[in-house]
Amino acid sequence: MSENAITRRSFLAGSAGVAALAAAGGYMSFGAWKQACADEPASDEGSWFAYSMCNACSSKCGYKAYVKRGRLSKLIPNEYDAHAQGKICARGYGYPAIVYSEDRLTDPLKKNDKGEFEVISWEQAYQEIGDKVKAILDSDGPQALAMVQDPRPSGAYYTKRFMDALGSPNFYTHGAACNISKASGFSQVIGAGDFSADVENSKMIMYIGRSVADAVRPAHLLALQKAHDNGAKVVMVDPRCNNSTVFADEWLPVNPGTDLAFLLAMSHVLIRDGIYDAAYVAENVVGFDEFAAGVKDCTPAWAEAICGIPAADIERLAVEFSQAAPAACIDAGWRGAFGNQYANSGETARAIAVFNTLLGCWNQKGGALFLPSVSAGKLDEEKFPAVPKPEGKKVGSEEYPLASSSMGVNVFAAQRAKEGAIKGMFFYNSNMVAGYSNPVYLQECLDALDLCVVVDIQMSETALCADYVLPECSFLERLELPAFNGGKVPSVSLRDKVLDIVHPNTKPCDEIFTGLAEACGVGEYFPFTVEELADAQLKSVGLSLDALRKVGTISFPEKAFEYGKAPKWKTPSEKIQFVSEACVAAGYTPAPTWVAPAVTPAGGNQFRLITGKQAMHSHTMTANCEPLMAITQDYDLTRIWMNADRAEQLGISDGDEVEISNDQHTGRCRVKVTQRLNPTAVFLPPAYGCSSKDQHTAYGIGLRSTDFQAYQLENGYGSTMSHEILVTVKKVGA
């Protein structure tokens, strides 16, 4: 943290300048906007700015957004924002074009008997949705309603409060399609769903299926750059040589879905040779002996036969780890290898938390840290009435008992809709149908609902399944609640309103959910504006909305992280648990042992289909953004990757068109032949294959991995197992 950073204290001492907002609007297409920007003189004269946060991925990087004559003219990343640290990525710069997209939803829509959407008024939409919610509550109770969302910061608050007010516990994030197995597996061992590798101070850092150079968060990339500059040993375990390789010392092209064998074998070496932190383990761990007995036979030779990493490398890496410890760890990853991909993802996450414990690296400099965060305190109940916690259990929590309770198994709620138990579903900033599991299956699930409401800014595949589509204004057109970010120095950032409303009949989420709550008879829980709530939340930590508006980000140095402080383990035993009763109840061994992935490719023309991010796209939400799709087209980025030796065996050359098929789907695309991929897999970039004709830029470009994915969930953890896919690939015309 720079000395110039704005802290809560320095702010209170009165440090900041004044922001003001332009208020001009008018619809303008992206092409016209681009031309107007090109025609603009370079000077900042007459421009205004407000602090906002990017919405193009989960990182929500903070920036200063300049407005000139009502149009966005410039973005300057905020140096003090926890995730941006003075940089934003290509998506951050390109995504604001969506504000001016001709495909924006402009009015509330209702599906008629012919299955076509008709424009209706907000009053009609609220009234009819409210009546249908009340009817479902009367006939089936609040358990028959569900919400899927993962927006931040306002959306998460308002959608949760709305569901709480209706009495429904069925509140889901996108987690089951992202990192539910990681969060849930870690929780079993360390009682926390995540940790932060102290990358910049590390002597040795291993990434298992995490690519900070493709799946970008600027702060993570900057930390890796520092580690590399400091001479840290950086090891990348990935079936694909991803773009982080520029900072890496080694690439281990593991067979997909087999990292667990690699991890158990490295643990075996540490224990066999007595080079783990025995004192730390003796003091902090329950179940070490069971784990040690379980990995006794997990030799490097055993692992090599499964994961493809040479036994000698496994031996050497374990020793190198022990020498670098405690300034060493395996990074927490995000999604790539054990977030939601395989039948063994949750158990792989457990094995990582165990391995880091053997290094004794928790909260050590250069190790793996639990960083502090600050959250809003208690608010005046008169103005912000508390909502009673819903009774009953979240749908899916019994069937998938290891699943993180805050995330929940979103697609299982959809499954229960198909089975008739869930009657009404809401989606906010979520495209479940295209992105979470098999789209045909998920569409059938949503078709079975009595009521499906989607709040989006464009016609997503999920919105196409809705009875009502409610248009939100874009992220640059709304003020949101403050975002409290954890970190070595925790901080709070703001998404302020930058632009005036572009389409007059769109609304921000706080107004939409307040309106829905009133129509559903629970409006008494929303007697405040977003400004009032934001200000109250900030006052509870000694700040104010005015204060944050002026600077965008304020930090809390008095809550800063301290090395060496023992973490509090929020596990049943209050120790680190190498063994878990919950895992046993779900059918796993007490301590993590080998679990095979669900499918294994047979060779010949059969491959496992895997995916991973491309730096210029996010999930399903950016493909319809013209400047970002232009990069795809310029660099021919929809191609499927295939290992060069396998391609040669199959007579496939770079650029050839191939047919990819399995029992779920058949599609065609061109091939990128490369040595940068494990031979057992093909790698499909994940942002393409949009099937909504109303997304004119994205529609029909490239293939979508979920089309090839069967609907199936990971035992106990409930992830969608997004890489348990076998496909055959053949050259078109061969």
Ligand X SMILES: Nc1nc2c(c(=O)[nH]1)N[C@H]1C(S)=C(S)[C@@H](COP(=O)(O)OP(=O)(O)OC[C@H]3O[C@@H](n4cnc5c(=O)[nH]c(N)nc54)[C@H](O)[C@@H]3O)O[C@H]1N2
Residues that bind ligand X (CB under 6 A): 55, 57-58, 150, 174, 177-179, 208-211, 214-217, 237-240, 242, 254, 256-257, 259, 333-337, 341, 428-431, 434-436, 455-458, 460, 472, 474-475, 610, 612-615, 617-621, 686-687, 704-706, 723
Out of 88, 269, 295, 303, which residue is the one contacting ligand SF4 (CB under 6 A)?
88
Nearer to ligand X, 214 or 320 (CB): 214
Applying CB under 6 A, the span of 57-65, 196-204, 341-349, 443-451 interacting with ligand SF4 comes to: 57-65
Residues 6+ apart with CB under 8 A from 249: 233, 234, 235
54 binds, among ligand X, Mo ion, ligand SF4, none (CB under 5 to 8 A by kind): ligand SF4
Tokens (6 digits) for 170? 């069925």
- Rounded to a whole number of angstroms, the minimum distance from the CB of residue 456 to ligand X is 4
Q: Which of 178, 371, 465, 595 is in the footprint of Mo ion by CB under 5 A?
A: 178
**65, 216, 403, 425: which one binds ligand SF4 (CB under 6 A):** 216
Q: Among candidates 327, 378, 331, which has minimal Cα distance to 352? A: 331
Please select the residue that binds ligand SF4; options are 68, 91, 268, 549, rule is CB under 6 A.
91
Using the rule CB under 6 A, is 92 a contact of ligand SF4? yes
Q: Is 165 in the site for Mo ion (CB under 5 A)?
A: no
End-to-end CA distance of the chain: 59
We find the least distance from the C-beta atom of residue 462 to ligand SF4, in angstroms, to be: 21
Which residue, 607, 573, 321, 623, is CA-closest to 459? 623
Decide if residue 8 touches ligand SF4 (CB under 6 A).
no
Q: Output the smallest distance, CB 657 to ligand X, in A.
A: 21
Q: State which residue, 549 or 619, has the beta carbon closest to ligand X.
A: 619
Q: 716, 342 in Cβ contact below 8 A?
A: no
Of ligand SF4, ligand X, Mo ion, none, which one sits near residue 56, judging by CB under 5 to 8 A according to partner kind? ligand SF4
Minimal distance in Å, beta carbon 506 to ligand SF4?
Answer: 21
d(CA 400, CA 393) in angstroms, rounded, equals 12
The CA-based diameter of the chain, rounded to the nearest angstrom, is 73
Of 178 and 650, the one with the shorter C-beta distance to Mo ion is 178
- Identify which of residues 57 and 166 has a Cβ nearer to ligand X in the complex: 57
Query: How many residues make up the chain in this entry?
Result: 734
- Mind spelling out the 3-state secondary structure of 133-169? HHHHHHHHCHHHEEEEECCCCHHHHHHHHHHHHHCCC
**Interior angle at CA 366, CA 364 and CA 371, nearest 5:** 60
Q: Which is nearer to ligand SF4, 54 or 642 (by Cβ)?
A: 54
DSSP state of 199: G
CA–CA dist 75, 627 (Å, integer):
16
- Least distance from ligand SF4 to the Cβ atom of residue 16, Å: 23
- Alpha carbons 274 and 277: distance in angstroms, whole number: 8
Residues 324-363 that bind Mo ion (CB under 5 A): 335
123-to-110, 325, 437, 470, 492 alpha-carbon distances in Å: 12, 62, 34, 12, 36
Q: State how far Cα 75 lies from the chain centre.
A: 23
Q: In the block, which residue shows the tokens 């695309």? A: 669
Answer for the pair 131, 58: CB distance below 8 angstroms, yes or no.
no
Determine if 60 is a binding residue for ligand SF4 (CB under 6 A): yes
Q: Between 188 and 242, whose beta carbon lies closer to ligand X?
A: 242
Which C-beta is closer to ligand SF4: that of 50 or that of 609? 50
- Indicate which of ligand X, Mo ion, ligand SF4, none lies near residue 455 (CB less than 5 to 8 Å, by partner kind): ligand X
Residue 205 DSSP SS3? strand
Residue 319 beta carbon to ligand X: minimum distance, rounded to whole angstroms? 21
From the CB of 609, what's the least distance to ligand X, in Å? Answer: 10
In the complex, what is the shortest distance from the CB of residue 431 to Mo ion, in angstroms, rounded to a whole number?
12
**Smaller CB distance to ligand X: residue 428 or 441?**
428
The string of DSSP letters for 10-38 reads HHHTT-----B---------HHHHHHHHH
What pairs with residue 470 in β-bridges? 455
Inter-axis angle of helices 122-140 and 509-519, to 10 degrees? 50
Give the residue with the Cβ less far from ligand X, 55 or 438.
55
Q: Do residues 554 and 491 make contact, with C-beta atoms less than 8 angstroms apart?
A: yes
DSSP single-letter state for residue 721: -
Q: How far is the CB of 611 from Mo ion (least distance, A)?
A: 12
β pairing state of 328-330 and 109-111: unpaired
Give me the least distance between CB of 459 and ligand SF4, in Å please.
Answer: 22
Parallel, antiparallel, or unpaired: how do β-strands 576-577 and 681-684 relate?
A: unpaired
Q: Does 616 interact with ligand SF4 (rule: CB under 6 A)?
A: no
Q: How far apart are CA 718 and CA 343, in angstroms?
A: 10
What is the Cα–Cα distance from 147 to 149, expressed in whole angstroms?
A: 7
SS3 call for 623: coil
Q: Does 59 bind ligand SF4 (CB under 6 A)?
A: yes
CB 689 within 8 A of CB 318: no
The residue range among 49-57, 433-441, 583-591, 660-668 that interacts with ligand SF4, by the rule CB under 6 A, is 49-57
State which residue, 394 or 613, has the beta carbon closest to ligand X.
Answer: 613
How far are the Cα atoms of 144, 250, 259 from residue 27, in angstroms, in the given order?
Answer: 40, 51, 51
The rounded distance, in Å, linking the Cα atoms of 312 and 320 is 12
Supply 361's token pair. 């690296």
- Judged by beta carbon distances under 5 to 8 A according to partner kind, the member of Mo ion, ligand X, ligand SF4, none in contact with residue 641 is none
Q: How far is the CB of 54 from ligand SF4 (least distance, A)?
A: 3
CB 495 within 8 A of CB 479: yes
The C-alpha R_g of the chain, in whole angstroms, comes to: 25
- In the bound state with ligand X, the residue whose beta carbon lies nearer, of 201 and 620, is 620
Which residue number, 311 or 615, has a Cβ lying nearer to ligand X?
Answer: 615
Q: Is 502 in the site for ligand SF4 (CB under 6 A)?
A: no
Least spacing, CB of residue 289 vs ligand X, in Å: 29
Residue 94's binding partner out of Mo ion, ligand X, ligand SF4, none, with CB under 5 to 8 Å set by partner kind: none
Q: Which is nearer to ligand X, 463 or 520 (CB)?
A: 463
Segment contacting ligand SF4 (CB under 6 A): 51-59, 399-407, 485-493, 687-695? Answer: 51-59
Looking at the Cβ atoms of 400 and 436, the one nearer to Mo ion is: 436
Binding interface with Mo ion (CB under 5 A): 178, 335
Binding interface with ligand SF4 (CB under 6 A): 54, 56-57, 59-61, 83, 88-89, 91-92, 216-218
